[in-house]
Amino acid sequence: MAEDGLNTGLLLYIPYRWLENRVIDALVRAGYDDITTAQMKIVQRIGPDGTRLTDLAEQAQVTKQTAGFLVDQLEKAGWVERVPDPTDKRARLVRIAARGREALPITAAAVAEVEAEWEAHLGKRHMAQLRQLLGRLRDVTDPYA
């Protein structure tokens, strides 16, 4: 435990939650006020060529039913679309649709802004070290890397 009583997991989560809220705020300011953090957890896991619903559920650590419900909402709002899987005609992929693609530059800019603020606070060297260390942790914690 850190001196302030917070465990490492919480110390990792707090900045992530801050970044996530900043992305949502940027989307709302740009007129994209119909996406929730739960839906974003699904959208972030969609690969460039689409991802199967079962894989999205596993990666977002939700049930297939929950993932299906969230994808249904996202699809109705134009954020994602379901398309045939070219490798298995019985399966379908979820991929980013037009509305989602339009929002990508907004989310990328919000993330870049937050990371620039963090670098200004920590310094360039410490920010680089943080990214390196988090990348090393990802090696042992992210089976989808």
- CATH code of residue 109: 1.10.10.10
Q: Which domain holds residue 115?
A: 8-141
Total structural domains within the chain: 1
Best CA proximity match to 100, nearest among 144, 140, 137, 46? 46
Residue 66 contacts residue 111 (beta carbons within 8 Å): no
Q: Has residue 2 been placed in a domain?
A: no
Q: In a structure prediction context, what are the per-residue pLDDT tens digits for the chain, which is 145 residues long?
A: 556 789 999 999 999 999 999 999 999 999 999 999 999 999 999 999 999 999 999 999 999 999 999 999 999 999 999 999 999 989 999 999 999 999 999 999 999 999 999 999 999 999 999 999 999 999 999 888 7
Which tokens in the block code for residue 59? 């990666």
